[in-house]
Amino acid sequence: MTDIKRNKSRIIFHIDMNSFYASVEQSYDPSLKGKAIAIAGNPKERRGILVTCSYEARARGVYTTMSVWEAKRKCPELILLPPNFERYRIASRAMFDLLRTYTKQVEPVSIDEGYMDVTEIDSPMTALQIAADIQMRLKQELDLPCSIGIAPNKFLAKTASNLKKPMGITVLRKRDIDKVLWPLPVLDMHGVGESTGKKLNSIGLNTIGDIAKAEEGILKEALGKNGIRLKNRANGLDDRIVDPDSVYDTKSVGNSTTLPSDETDLMELRKVFQTLSAKVANRLEAKRLAGPTVSIQIRDADWRNSSRSQSFRNLVYEKDKIFEVAWSLFTKNWDGQPIRLLGVTVSNVVDRVDFTEQLSIYNFEEHAKEEPILKLVETLQSKFGKDMITRGHTQVRKPTYESKTSFSNDFLDDHKDRENK
């Protein structure tokens, strides 16, 4: 490859599918092409917001996360479609399978985007030519458009793919960041959300260039370690590798819901937390996972977001415990404002089979009670074979929707058996 010197830096692609759900629907039904379409929840409920929309809809002022009623007001001819998650997973698998025909160094990060390290590809084509070939094949073979960012690291590749949509291919080199990246507002920087953006603005940092030039002490005081990370990224520094094995790293299991109406009734809110906790517990059980940290997410009627968490020495996975902690966090921190959305998450999860609970004066009796059962199991296993009887929580994970943490994360399960093929 001659357009980016291989001996000086890595060559990282960020592949970003354009309006993925909408594009998949248009591919399945060509009569939808060229029309304003959107994927949404139930339009009869307030929780009906747009998951994504086609570029034709965006041209009419419609955008992702807009409510259904507002989108229809802006674009009366908007075609609303319910999400077809299985269809999107099939398309995602096909997309990543195509990427792996170029290199095994492919890291899926969501259902419609991923990184590729093409540094070591043995090809007469330049990086730009490889990117163009990938883009052309995705469009011709799968009828799906994408944008591709090319850079020496993940952060710059991700940034580059956002600069030209749809169907763009953009190269972003470190030497160009002062002209391309620094003039942009802080909210345009990958990794900066609304809350972080407000904190940066409050200390006089309004552009990405301001972050790049800011003193580390000021950033660390305002944002902790994340402030230093943002400064490095703003200066084009990012040493994260493209890691195909990251698909095995489930870090959290959670569930959230938008309430049908702004809610202040404590008993109704309690029911919501019970439902969310049960769903999280079912998913943890199905995936054989547990974690030491329970957190809640709260969004009030004014769209203000807040979160609280509590960590424990031992792992949490049972619904009653999850609910107990979540409800306690909520009642201690709720200021009485009407609630729009609630969420419950168990994080830092690990496989329960691989975790040995720490014995203490509080739980040794529980383990002592198990001892006769364990001896019986050992006797039966020695007589009939080890596979005859196993502990209940070591059974194969349920291949059902109970095992789903969230759709955007669970698609990763599709890649665990495919990346090495």
Spell out the residues 6+ positions from residue 405 whose beta carbon is closer than 8 angstroms to its own.
Answer: 250, 252, 253, 254, 283, 287
320 annotated binding-site participant: no
List Cβ neighbours of 155 (8 Å cut-off, separation of 6 or more). Answer: 190, 191, 233, 236, 238, 240
Residue of 25, 56, 107, 113 with catalytic role: 113
Q: From 283, 270, 284, 287, select the one nearest 326 (Cα to Cα).
A: 270
Q: What is the dihedral of CA 234, 235, 236, 237, to 10 degrees?
A: -100
Cα separation, 134 vs 337, whole angstroms: 50
Spatial strand order of the sheet with 169-171 comes to 106-110, 113-117, 12-17, 146-151, 169-171
Q: Give strand pairing partners of 339.
A: 263, 300
Distance CA 38, CA 43 (A): 11
Check: CB of residue 157 under 8 Å from CB of residue 172. Answer: yes
Integer CA distances (angstroms), 91 to 95, 96, 334, in order: 6, 9, 42
Interatomic CA distance for residues 217 and 228, integer angstroms: 9
**Bridge-partner residues for 309, per DSSP?**
295
Nearest to 50 by CA among 36, 62, 66, 37: 66
Q: Judge whether 414 is annotated as a binding position.
A: no
Q: Does the active-site annotation cover 113?
A: yes
φ and ψ at 46, to 5 degrees?
A: -65, -25
Give which of 41, 82, 34, 80 is closest to 59, Cα–Cα: 34
Task: Give all strands (DSSP E) within 41-91, no chain letters.
Answer: 50-53, 79-81
- AA letter at 131: A
* Bind-site residues for Mg(2+): 16, 112
* Bind-site residues: 16, 112
The residues carrying an active-site annotation are 113
